[in-house]
Structure 1
Amino acid sequence: MPGGQAGNVLYHQRHPLDSFFAPRNVAMIGATDTAGSIGRTVLWNLISSPFGGTVFPVNFKHHSVLGIKAYHKVKDIPEKLDLAIIATPAQGVPELMRECVEVGIKNAIIISSGFKDRGEEGVRLEKQILEEARRGKMRLVGPNSLGVMCPPSGLNATCARHTAQPGNVAFISQSAAVTSTVLDWSLSENVGFSAVVAVGSMLDVGWGELISYFGSDQQTKSIVVYMETLNDVRSFLSAAREVSLNKPLIVLKAGTQNGRHSALSHTGTLTGRDDVFEAAFRRCGVLRVNRISELFDLAEVLAKQPRPRGRRLTIITNTGAAGILATDALTALKGELAPLPESIIQQLNESLPTHWSKSNPIDIMGDASPQRYAKALEIALKNPESDGAMVILAAHPESAPNETAEALKEVVKNIRVPVLASWMGRSDAVEGTASLNRFGIPTFPYPDTAARMFCHMWRYNENLHNLYETPVAIPDTIKDEVAGRAEVEAIIAAARKDNRTTLSEIESKHILEAYHIPTIPAQLAVTLEEALQCADGISYPVSIMAHIRGNIRSAEYCGEKNNLLDERALRTAYLDIAESISNQIGKENFLGVTVQPSTFWEGIELIIGSSVDPQFGPILMFGSGGKLVESYNDRAITLPPLNTTLARRMVERTRIFGALANNKICGGVDLEELERLLVRFSRLVVEQRWIKEIDINPVLASPEGLVALHARMVLHDPSVAEENLPQLAIRPYPTHYLEQWFAKDKTSVIIRPIRPEDEPLVVKYHETLSERSVYFRYLHMLSLNQRIEHDRLTKICFIDYDREIALVIDYEDPETKEHQILGIGRLSKVYGTNEAEFAILISDNQQGRGYGKELLLRLIQIGRDEKLDKIIGYIHPENMDMQRVCERVGFKRRYSMEEGLIEVWIAL
């Protein structure tokens, strides 16, 4: 199959959300002449904004509104309508929606309020509205929305008092009041927008769709969000993960207080709502801020400046006090002052007065001229140890803010690191600040604000780098995807049959062992005599833990005794535990003890656990463990699934990491093995959805290895139906698409979804492709160096399985055991539709063996599994082999005059 395969996406279709931002004809339902009313404000904003469309007022009483002909009903309007705006009392909105559906309107903005915020009657009205929208395949913004604004097109479909200036920031807000405030502020601060959307109650269109929409909008350079609640978690995270790679996504999340939810495990009690939001934002590359002003400051900075490679900043100032303020703000957020190499100091000595600071911050004295500023910055930007620069100019009798700004203009051309400025003193600095902004240097009135912006920048860049650092493949994750699953499912099924929600220590450890998590085996002893027999079999010293009925942690009732050296100590410990638990929670709840060997080697006690968050589903926790786990409060939270890179980042966020990484403490711990253990634990949480909470506490980490000393697992209540089990916030690796297959020549391969660990294999795969194959696949030439750049392979290997599936043909050499990718087939959803585009490319030396056809058949089946309507592709006219394969499996084809390519498609 020379050259292999279908080409890139060339699919052109109007997006379902386009009519919100560029409508041709708009029906304004509820338009009125009444001064101060919402209906009058929206109508006036529409007719006074130059969006290029026609506005049709709808008022069932009057024949004209604001001098414009009005219609009693939507169906009376003679033109085809793109958008309806509804600003009427809530009770009548369902009927108005029905009329809009009947005339074929596909988009509506509901500004009306008084729905679910008013109780059960409002909830009923919302249900009716949504039913009508679904019936007519209509998309809704609102209700309780301020409206939609698109300054570049001139559209103002809001009830706001002002129209924003055009710009390149998309602002999505859940609060009408915050939206109005920001619009007012933007005019005084000269901030422009590509779009403003007040989402209101988000009955239909929500965060995920809007983020994806602006992610592909060429006018939008960054997206800022004011968020109060997050409903469709998976949609938001999926969109954010994709968009944040290319555009800054900055979120101000209101309601940050930590909330405790009822939990049966340490993990549950140690996590709060804001912890999980922070983990979710970090996982998808979102930059979170805590001030409204920072939303737009950061949007401006990230749009204008390159991202810093690290956290080291060079500060140039004409006053020591301002330099100290900037340094304090920098270091408070874990930024660092860049060191000045001797060569840089020498150059500064030659250009600056004798008494300059000789260190960073570079104090160039109060009488600094524009030329001195320019020369100092020029030298500072040559410093390879610096990741960014900040220039501070404080008001001084001899300072020249305007001239200094102009002098910096030439210096900042073609810069490789970000440069920020703080021109202090508003009255004297206005013109200079305007000049700096004009040629791309963001300015701030206070140096500590500029320092905080730099810290946000490096954190954002570091987070993206950490997210997409290529993880290490774990050998047992390809062939051993279902190892132990049957045993685990049998244990869980037996517990559920007994109507139990708490697994015993022994059951919990069996499950851990099935997922290759080492444990110290435990034996159940119902009586003292059985405990003595178990101890004799194990040999002393031993530890015992109470086996208690119900969902109770035995440690809370003195239910553990460790390092029992002989029979006498065991008898005493057993009787103490039995008495303590009987007195506190009843004799009937004491069911014996588990007996296991005690450990004497030195080690660090850790905790690994999982619990269920009401919004984000299963979450993972790692931190300092042992009896004082809740006192230490040292933990990191993340979302499953994990790979080795994400596991390492999780560990690094804890205070205990310093001890784990220090070889002088307990001889050092194998951090790579800890990463692999966390990945296997993540797989357990992902695959065993009936498990509600897990505590492994402690996990003993030492040079001898990692071992789980105690484990406890809690199941979901038997009354919970399987379809109602919590969903993962991030779709996990789709193991059900992994299967062994034999080629025509009986070669055995594994066909499976791609994973981030495959990046090195994908590099080698690209080395097997001819120029002809590359051209047929991408429809233009790409050199090998371009194809194997890490940033490009990130988008190929680190995929969101909700948005696309890429299947690789994985061949293992039977002699060397090395793996090789022989081909890749990809199915990518076409944004804004329920269709997907396919692409397939087989290594040149593997073509003609049936791999291409097999991949295509599997992609078709995936499309059906994912409930797509159609699969499409575009093929070069000379690629006859791919055209024949498509025809044989049922694709239709035609020549596209517009693209000069063969278009193929199959309905599903």
Structure 2
Amino acid sequence: MKRLKNTDPAHDVLGYERQPLDAIFNPETVAVVGATERPGSVGRTVMWNLISNPFGGTVFPVNPKRANVLGIKAYPSIAEVPERVDLAVIVSPAPTVPGVVRECVEAGVRGAIIISAGFRETGPEGEALERRVLEEARRGRMRIIGPNCLGVMNPGTGLNATFAAGMARPGSVAFLSQSGALMTAILDMSFQENVGFSSFVSVGSMLDVGWGDLIYYLGGDPKTRSIVVYMESVGDARSFLSAAREVALTKPIIVIKAGRTEQAARAAASHTGSLTGSDEVIDAAFRRSGVLRVERISDLFNMAEVLSKQPRPRGPRLTVVTNAGGPGVLATDALIRSGGHLAELSQETLQSLDGLLPAAWSHGNPIDVLGDADPERYARTLEAAARDPESDGMLVILTPQDMTEPTATAEALTPYARGTGKPVLASWMGGQQVAAGVSILNGAGIPTFDYPDTAARTFTSMWRYTYNLRSIYETPELAADDETIDREAAAEIIREAREAGRTLLTEYESKRLLAAYGIPTVETRVARSPDEAAAHAARIGYPVVLKLHSETITHKTDVGGVRLNLQNEEEVRRAYREMEASVGEGFDGATVQPMVSLEGYELIIGSSPDPQFGPVVLFGSGGQLVEVYRDRALALPPLTTTLARRTMERTRIYEALKGVRGRAPVDLGALEKLFVRFSHLVAEQPWIREMDVNPLLASPERLLALDARVVLHPPETPEKELPRTAIRPYPNQYVWREELPDGTRITIRPIRPEDEPLMVKFHESLSPESVYMRYFHMMNLPQRTAHERLTRICFIDYAREMALVAERRNPATKEREIMGVARLSRPAGLSEEAEFSMLISDKYQRRGLGTLMLRRLLEVGRAEGIRRVTADILFENRPMQKICRKLGFSLRRDTEDMVMKAELDLLQPVS
């Protein structure tokens, strides 16, 4: 795969010359280890599939007991194959596989498909066997698909490295499956439905190559327009989410995830030997990565087709055009139940339709054009309705009545397949009478459905896909300046509890922890005696609340550890003594707090770990009946203000927070930022196992944490085994306060999504020469500052790339401004290599900033395990060449690309 020249991180091409997975998908030489002629054997079927579907390469059977297989000379071992092997397809018994992989690594084989079964799905012995296989593979740079898989097809080249009975047709859909049996059923169905594939991959137990690797690879494959996945377990959650978030922007990723019910989840775990987490968390993860989840196997390919043929809707409002009332009602029910809305027709559209349609038309949406509608009436109605700005998509329904012309009507609609700028779907209901019309519509790019309710649900899924992507990349607000968060104070609170051997923070400690992250808490004082409690109450002011202070008891109300509305000193003293007597062991005193009026809404924010995705945060209705109401929404931390709002919107309480029945609304912006800070607390303090704030009082006047509970991981837990967030949090360890040689004070830190407005101003400060030196061509300001482009620059995955910005406070305006940007990007699949780029604002050039930023960027590279850093620099960009030489790069002239090639081995010390 030839790498395309690209110097703009907003348009990275995922295809690099000879990616590691090229050895699997585009091999020139294939060895079948375990090839045989025994009828009905996997070894024979794989050999036959490879040689009967020419892929332009050579096949070598490997079998120490045979001189030839299917008429082709066989070799006793991979080492004796006369050519270097790109791909080894291993079908030998499981106990032999570690030895085979060792021989492959020694022979320089770069890819393997292990079809053999008998690994982790069989239990502990199989898991141990897998570990040995992976240890052998890691001795080289060999990538493995499987074990326990069907194999891999590349229909575009003719590669069929599977034991399936047939070869998939070429097409634009990549199909990945964790079930080989399901793949064979889909393959058989595809011949009947005339569905083609760009790749057909059975992933097996994903010992090495996982979802993330495959999604990255297919994201750079020009033949692939969409990726559909049958998934039983997620595997490496961080890798999957990282790849999906990037690729979903340009190619739809549609997943059917088995295991929605508890029983099905257990079955999936047994089948794959993997852990499966809460289905609610899976939904949250898919939303966070832009993946579209569907519930039916048929929907996988419906959505792949629809999203490849039609534009995505900008909103959830659908206009239905029909020649029969009943199908319109069915479509409406399905639309509303799936979360869509009927578009409200504007007065202009209603007047236009009055002039087009008979007087008896429905005068609303659905637009009933009546049973005698001819092709022209359909077409003109669709055109008029599509112009309505209140509509986000169109569904055209036709039922074959006596006067209906299904074929001619389909022909009349073909000009609107793309011309409206909105998705157009069709449901031609019937059989033979409508078959020709269905064919015409599909050929024109208008997807058709047998039933209108299916079409309506499909539209809602399209909108959900758009909505999720928009949520990820909508520019958020900054929730808090770094100066307002005291991370070290939070870590110290946790450290002291761990050193004392405790896993439970007291309420007092929990509130101090929240306060360190800028979350407002009710004033809380600890009393160790009735006298001390009375003294605290006097200083706070009556009425007050007494709550149990304990290092061992989790739920205070269960043991009578809460006394409310105490009006005077006598009541405080009596309440303290009664609490001490009723609680007994575990009583360490009481906290004294002001009695806060609960005028407002009781909310809960919380966190707990998921076995696959690590810490998960929760928002919902709080109070004592939180488990009964179960009004909640989950999300993966860390959040932005946009993601926080999207999470809150999925709860019923959210509507009340906006103001109902004369009540003033809660400050939703402040609530979003509080939730964001909470998510950062969860993400940045890994020793927290569980945490909830309940209730969080939300009123128009204030937000206040009234109670908090924090549980830590056991002290004996190895730090490397603490659950990590599925999405890497903001890397605060790479924040430096610096001073330039001229005394200018700056901060160098990783870029963040909230920086988009600052990046716009940064680009406004650049000269044409600086732009040309960075991008190797001219790029005008509107191009450079387009939201779609800046999202790719600011919304980065810190696990795959790092961008540092240098910023300062403008002395005159006190506003932050970006002075320069430096980026380190890892090509997919090449984790130890990275390419750097840098751009400095003109007024800060030649002031030492470039050298300082590149030095810090190389420090990041070392810390992230990168061994080799490269860059392409224009011949005339001598200042950049000078900086590179100063920091130890070697430079060589490349006259073909007209650039200087800079390279640095990070194992060497930086000067």
TM-score normalised over the length of structure 2: 0.94
Tell me how far apart the structure 2 counterparts of residues 200 and 364 of structure 1 sit (CA, whole Å).
Answer: 52
1:725 aligned to 2:722? Answer: yes
The RMSD of aligned alpha carbons is: 2.1
Where 2:588 maps in the other structure, the secondary structure is strand
- 8 Å contact kept, 1:31–1:40: yes
What's the CA shift for 1:200?
A: 0.2
Distance 2:551 2:755 in 1: 46
SS at 1:590's partner residue? Answer: coil
Partner of 1:409: 414
List runs of 5+ in structure 1 lacking aligned partners.
262-270, 582-586
- Residues in 2 aligned to 1:614 and 1:301: alpha-carbon distance in whole angstroms: 34
Counterpart secondary structure, 1:588? coil
- The aligned runs of 1:293-332 (5 Å cut-off) are 293-332=298-337
2:656 counterpart of 1:659:
yes
Question: Percent same amino acid at aligned positions?
Answer: 54
Aligned to 2:855: 857
What is the CA–CA distance in structure 2 between the aligned matches of 1:488 and 1:225, rounded to whole Å? 41
1:413–1:524 distance in 2 versus 1, CA, 3 Å:
closer
Give the letter for the 1:395 counterpart.
Answer: P
1:506–1:524 Cα contact (<8 Å) kept: yes
Q: 2:590 aligns with which of 585, 590, 593?
A: 593
Letter in 1 for 2:542: Y
User: 1:576 and 1:434 mapped to 2: Cα distance?
Assistant: 81
* 2:99 aligned with 1:95: yes
Residue by residue over 1:682-718, the C-alpha shift from the partner in whole angstroms, topping out at 9 and shown as x without a partner, is: 2222222222211211111112211111111111111
Could you say which residue in structure 1 is the equivalent of 2:539?
537
Superposition pairs of residues 195-234 of structure 1, within 5 angstroms: 195-234=199-238
2:810 to 806, 809, 813: 813
Larger deviation, residues 897-906 vs 209-218 = 897-906
Deviation at 1:486, TM superposition (A): 3.3
Q: CA deviation at 1:574?
A: 4.2
- 1:549, CA displacement in angstroms? 4.7
* Counterpart Cα distance in 2 of 1:399 and 1:32: 61
Q: 1:705 to 1:259 in 2, by over 3 A?
A: farther
Q: How does 1:494-893 map to 2 (within 5 A)?
A: 494-570=496-572, 573-574=575-576, 577-578=579-580, 580-581=582-583, 587-600=584-597, 602-662=599-659, 666-833=663-830, 834-893=832-891
Contact residue 501 and residue 551 of structure 1 kept, 8 A: no
Tell me how far apart the structure 1 counterparts of residues 690 and 336 of structure 2 sit (CA, whole Å): 38
Q: Does 1:19 align with 2:20?
A: no
Number of residue equivalences: 887
SS at match of 1:380: helix
Task: Please say if 1:171 is aligned against 2:175.
Answer: yes
CA distance in 1, matches of 2:560, 2:253: 49
Name the CA distance, whole Å, in 2 between partners of 1:888 and 1:272.
50
Question: Structure 1: how far apart are the matches of 2:223 and 2:872?
Answer: 27
**d(CA) in 2 for partners of 1:242 and 1:215?**
9
How many angstroms apart in 1 are the aligned matches of 2:805 and 2:561? 51
In structure 2, the CA distance between the partners of 1:272 and 1:48, relative to structure 1 (3 Å rule), is closer
Q: Which residue of 1 aligns with 2:376?
A: 371
**Equivalent-residue separation in structure 1 for 2:431 and 2:401 (angstroms):** 13
Q: Distance in 2 between matches of 1:174 and 1:260?
A: 15
Matched position secondary structure for 2:549? strand
Secondary structure, counterpart of 2:771 in structure 1: helix
Q: Answer whether contact 1:506 1:521 (CA < 8 A) is retained.
A: no
- SS, match of residue 606 in structure 1: strand
Asked if structure 2 preserves the Cα contact closer than 8 Å seen for 1:280 and 1:639, the reply is: yes
Q: Which residue of 2 aligns with 1:36?
A: 40
Match of 1:904 in 2: 902
Aligned residues of 2:607 and 2:616 also touching (Cα < 8 A): yes
CA contact (8 A) 1:603 1:666 kept: no
Instruction: Pick which of 486-495 and 161-170 moved more.
Output: 486-495
Q: How far 1:768 sits from its partner (Å)?
A: 1.0
Q: Which shows bigger deviation, 790-799 or 38-47? A: 38-47
Q: Where does residue 458 of structure 1 map in the other structure?
A: 463
Equivalent residues of 2:554, 2:709 under 8 A apart: no
Query: Out of 132, 138, 145, which is 2:149 matched to?
Result: 145
Q: Structure 1 stretch 320-329 or stretch 556-565: which is displaced more?
A: 556-565
Shift of 1:70: 2.4
Q: After TM superposition, give the deviation of residue 519 of structure 1 in Å.
A: 1.2
Using a 3 Å threshold, how does the CA distance of structure 1 residues 486 and 92 change in structure 2: closer, same or farther? closer
Distance 1:704 1:382, change over 3 A: closer
Write the distance in 2 (CA, Å) between the matches of 1:260 and 1:612: 21
Mean Cα deviation higher: 807-816 or 207-216 = 807-816
Higher relative contact order (CA 8 A, sep 6+): 1
| Aligned partner of 1:73 among 68, 71, 77 | 77
> Structure 1 residues 351, 830: CA separation in 2 closer, same or farther (over 3 Å shift)?
same
- Are the equivalent residues in 2 in contact too, given 1:406–1:435 (CA < 8 A)? yes
- 1:267 aligned partner: none
Contact 2:622 2:695 in 1 (8 A): yes
Give, as a single letter, the amino acid of the residue that structure 2 aligns with 1:103: A
1:584 corresponding residue in structure 2? none
TM-score (norm 1): 0.94
CA contact (8 A) 1:401 1:423 kept: yes
Q: Is the 8 A contact 1:663 1:669 kept in 2?
A: no
Q: Call closer, same or farther: CA 1:191–1:740 in 2, change over 3 Å.
A: same
* Offset, 1:760: 0.7
CA contact (8 A) 1:738 1:752 kept: yes
Any idea what the Cα deviations from partners look like across 1:747-770, whole Å, max 9, x if unmatched? Answer: 111111111111111111111111
CA contact (8 A) 2:603 2:623 kept: yes
* Alpha-carbon offset, residue 664 of structure 1: 5.2
1:858 deviates by 1.4
Contact 1:6 1:875 survives alignment (8 Å): no
CA distance in 2, matches of 1:503, 1:601: 25
SS of the residue 2:538 aligns to: helix
Mapped to 2, the partners of 1:505 and 1:665 lie a distance apart of 35
Contact 1:260 1:272 (C-alpha < 8 Å) held by counterparts:
no
Task: Evaluate the alpha carbon distance shift between residue 893 and residue 251 of structure 1 in structure 2; reply closer, same or farther with a 3 A threshold.
Answer: same
Q: Deviations over 1:366-394 (max 9, x none)?
A: 23222222222222222221111111112
Aligned letter for 1:91? P
- Could you tell which deviates more after superposition, 340-349 or 522-531? 522-531
- Per-residue displacement from partner, 1:839-865 (whole Å, max 9, x unpaired)? 111111221111111111111111111
Unaligned runs of 5+ in 2: 1-5, 266-275, 907-911
Maintained 8 Å contact 2:833/2:866? yes
Residue-by-residue CA offset, 1:234-281 (whole Å, 9 max, x unaligned): 1111111111111111111111125999xxxxxxxxx97111111111
* CA distance in structure 1 between the partners assigned to 2:491 and 2:456 by the alignment: 53
Asked if the contact 2:506/2:551 (under 8 Å) is kept, the reply is no
Name the CA shift for 1:272/1:662 in 2 (closer, same or farther; >3 Å).
farther
Deviation at 1:663, TM superposition (A): 6.5
CA distance in 1 between counterparts of 2:827 and 2:328 reads 51
* Deviation, structure 1 residue 551: 4.8
CA distance in structure 2 between the aligned counterparts of 1:26 and 1:6, rounded to whole angstroms = 35
- Work out the CA distance in 2 between the residues paired with 1:763 and 1:258: 48
Q: 1:603 to 1:748 in 2, by over 3 A?
A: same
* Residue 394 of structure 2, aligned match among 389, 393, 413: 389
Alpha-carbon offset, residue 429 of structure 1: 2.6
Aligned to 1:266: none
| Aligned match for 2:347, one of 329, 342, 345 | 342
Q: Deviations over 1:481-523 (max 9, x none)?
A: xx43333333222222221111111111122222221111222
Deviation at 1:576, TM superposition (A): 5.1
Distance in 2 of aligned mates of 1:124 and 1:640:
33
